[in-house]
Structure 1
Amino acid sequence: MVMTSDAHVRDLRYFLAVAEELHFTRAAERLYVSQPALSKQIRALERQLGTVLFRRDRRGVRLTEAGSALLPHARRVLDAWTEGAAAVAAVRAARLGTLVVGMSTSPGRGGLLPAIRSRFTTAHPHVAVRLRQVGWDDPTAGLADGAADLAFVWLPLPGAHRYAWTVVAEEPRLAALPATHPLAARAELDFADLADEPFLALPPSAGVLRDFWLATAERAGRAPRVGAEISGTEETYEALVAGLGVCLVAAGNAPLITLGGVVTRPVRGLSPSRYVLAWRREDGERALVRDYARAAREVVAAGARAGSADSWTASLRIATVEP
């Protein structure tokens, strides 16, 4: 039995090139080395293994029986090495990469975003987290077209089967009204009180999300009256002040539009809204996406355990959803 030291990956790569080309000059050109250097390396490998791998004669270069036996194993080793190197490169790229987080409305909610960022960057200190504001015409906040890796969005999502998400807040839908509106004098409203009012609507491209904020499901088949279309918080505030209509708003977003001249009121008969961190299903095992989502779940769970009455977690349902 011949004892050998371990062959280097380079030796196997040289052996494979000669075995496939069956020509030392062509193999040397393929490897970007000189032909004498390649021949020297092959001889060294043969000495190391204690056997001849190639026959060289006037007819050319041929594999010996030992060379033929080594060939499939050399291929497997080199394939495995290539896959391993790619995996290491992917990890390195992830460590030094950028994670894009989309949003159509700032999460706010008691420091949610800084808390998630802090947990995430502890695990990935070299990764840049870039926030990307997206208009309300894209209810996926950049997920659908690939512009964002994850996104803070409202349910329901168009094409929900394409996404998974974790719920970060569940909040009642309030009615936002001009302060001069007759219904503003009431402390609480029934949705029936609002059903005939003109509503501010998201752009048609928002699809099922537009329907949700128009409360289409609660209208018993009656179409809503659309007073104006809105595509951002400032437009919403201006349209309310101008008396173009009323709208529904999540409780956590009420401070964004009650800046003077606008009030919000609780509404009976409406299901709550759900604010989620979502990602594309196929990205669920990407290290950065997975770890950012984990950080969000940990922050949400920590807030729920704290149980602060004025916290954004006060009415939270914690879940990861794979619809």
Structure 2
Amino acid sequence: MVMTTDVHVRDLRYFVTVAEELHFTRAAEKLYVSQPALSKQIRALERQVGVELFRREPQGVVLTEAGAALLPHARRVLAVWAEGAAAVEEARTAQRSTLVVGMSTSPGRGGLLPAIRSRFTVTQPQASLRLHQVSWEDPTAGLADGDVDVAFVWLPLPDADRYAWTVVAEEPRLVALPETHPLAARAEVDFADLADEPFLALPPAAGPLRDYWLALEARGGTPPRVGAEVASTEETYEALVAGLGVCLVAAGNAPLITLGGVTTRPVRGVGPSRYALAWRREDGGRPLVRAYAEACRRATGHT
């Protein structure tokens, strides 16, 4: 007996039920289908396998030799399919109960992530959190592509109307520069004295965030000199040490790059940075997104 490849799970389920009931009417009732429809499907299955599976008799039906041979295999296929369907449902449930948190660098800031996690798990004990690191080329930290559910980002965001956010921290922008730089001798630097300096820039894909960290708003229309493009904390540090340029950095991120040979100074003439937890507006009603945003507000005192 040669099986064709287009036998459906439904056909096998119908076959097994008739084989167990040995009565088309009872099998149809059990399957919630009409008896004529069930008979039609069984005949179609017999045509597909090229042999009779049941012998019709006045008292009901009996399995043929071919039907009896097929029955244990059909049961095994149905059991495996049921296991597969259960695995899919388990994965779907896990997906619904997992919140993916995007970031380009660790938020740090006095144990912010553990503080949010502890508050989140109080209200969502069955949920799990997964952190997703994203390149600086994506200023939305995965939100735009749908790779994450919420993300720690720097404002401003591109396509800002797509997102909602809660501000995590508002911090002064400092200038990071080599310790040997002449301006490093000052306690504070006026941005006007930095205007002609080569700056380290985010990749062009960062859009308005690149412009923000180049402080275009403070340049009076004069374009910046870009000494190098950087896409990570490590690249930033190496470029600073190499003297390729200076850069603005949020006060909370200064410890990440002042490792040796690099220092930071306060800057007059530029506004503070804003670090935020953001999410897509259409996801604002999702329970896990709402719960994480609320945990973030409580952890940062922004309730």
> TM-score, with normalisation over the residues of structure 2?
0.70
Q: 1:124: how far off?
A: 1.6
Residue in structure 2 matched with residue 199 of structure 1 by the alignment: 199
Matches within 5 A, 1:99-178: 99-178=99-178
Which residue type is aligned with residue 177 of structure 2?
Answer: L
3-state SS in 1 of match to 2:139: coil
1:281 aligns with 2:276: no
The one-character-per-residue Cα deviations of 1:63-97 (angstroms, maximum 9, x if unpaired) are: xxxxxxxxxxxxxxxxxxxxxxxxxx9xx937962
Counterparts of 1:161 and 1:35, CA distance in 2: 53
Q: 1:278: how far off?
A: 0.1
1:256 aligns with 2:256: yes
Counterparts of 1:96 and 1:207, CA distance in 2: 32
1:296 aligns with 2:260: no
The one-character-per-residue Cα deviations of 1:154-192 (angstroms, maximum 9, x if unpaired) are: 000000000000001000000000011010000100000
CA contact (8 A) 1:166 1:276 kept: yes
Q: 1:29: how far off?
A: 5.4
Which residue type is aligned with residue 235 of structure 1?
Answer: E
Task: List runs of 5+ in structure 2 lacking aligned partners.
Answer: 1-23, 36-88
CA contact (8 A) 1:94 1:288 kept: no
Q: 1:226–1:96: structure 2 CA closer, same or farther, 3 Å change rule?
A: closer
Q: 1:213–1:95: structure 2 CA closer, same or farther, 3 Å change rule?
A: closer
CA contact (8 A) 1:96 1:126 kept: no
3-state SS in 2 of match to 1:101: strand
Q: 1:32–1:249: structure 2 CA closer, same or farther, 3 Å change rule?
A: same
The one-character-per-residue Cα deviations of 1:112-149 (angstroms, maximum 9, x if unpaired) are: 10000011112222211001110100000000000000
Counterparts of 1:113 and 1:150, CA distance in 2: 13
Matches within 5 A, 1:199-278: 199-278=199-278
Residue in structure 1 matched with residue 46 of structure 2 by the alignment: none
3-state SS in 1 of match to 2:153: strand
Q: 1:114–1:180: structure 2 CA closer, same or farther, 3 Å change rule?
A: same
CA contact (8 A) 1:95 1:127 kept: no
3-state SS in 2 of match to 1:177: strand
Q: 1:290–1:186: structure 2 CA closer, same or farther, 3 Å change rule?
A: same
Q: 1:281–1:116: structure 2 CA closer, same or farther, 3 Å change rule?
A: same
3-state SS in 1 of match to 2:249: strand
Residue in structure 1 matched with residue 93 of structure 2 by the alignment: 93
Which residue type is aligned with residue 31 of structure 2?
Answer: Y
Which residue type is aligned with residue 32 of structure 1?
Answer: L
> TM-score, with normalisation over the residues of structure 1?
0.66
3-state SS in 2 of match to 1:255: helix
Q: 1:282–1:178: structure 2 CA closer, same or farther, 3 Å change rule?
A: same
Residue in structure 2 matched with residue 68 of structure 1 by the alignment: none
Q: 1:31: how far off?
A: 7.4
Aligned residues: 226
* Backbone CA RMSD of aligned residues: 2.4
Counterparts of 2:103 and 2:123, CA distance in 1: 23
3-state SS in 1 of match to 2:259: coil
3-state SS in 2 of match to 1:200: strand
Task: List runs of 5+ in structure 1 lacking aligned partners.
Answer: 1-24, 37-88, 302-317
CA contact (8 A) 1:95 1:126 kept: no
CA contact (8 A) 1:191 1:268 kept: yes
Counterparts of 2:95 and 2:215, CA distance in 1: 43
Q: 1:212: how far off?
A: 0.1
Counterparts of 1:254 and 1:213, CA distance in 2: 14
3-state SS in 1 of match to 2:297: helix
The one-character-per-residue Cα deviations of 1:49-76 (angstroms, maximum 9, x if unpaired) are: xxxxxxxxxxxxxxxxxxxxxxxxxxxx
Residue in structure 2 matched with residue 32 of structure 1 by the alignment: 31
The one-character-per-residue Cα deviations of 1:185-220 (angstroms, maximum 9, x if unpaired) are: 001000001000000000000000000000001100
Which residue type is aligned with residue 202 of structure 2?
Answer: L
Counterparts of 1:238 and 1:176, CA distance in 2: 12
3-state SS in 2 of match to 1:263: strand
3-state SS in 2 of match to 1:277: strand
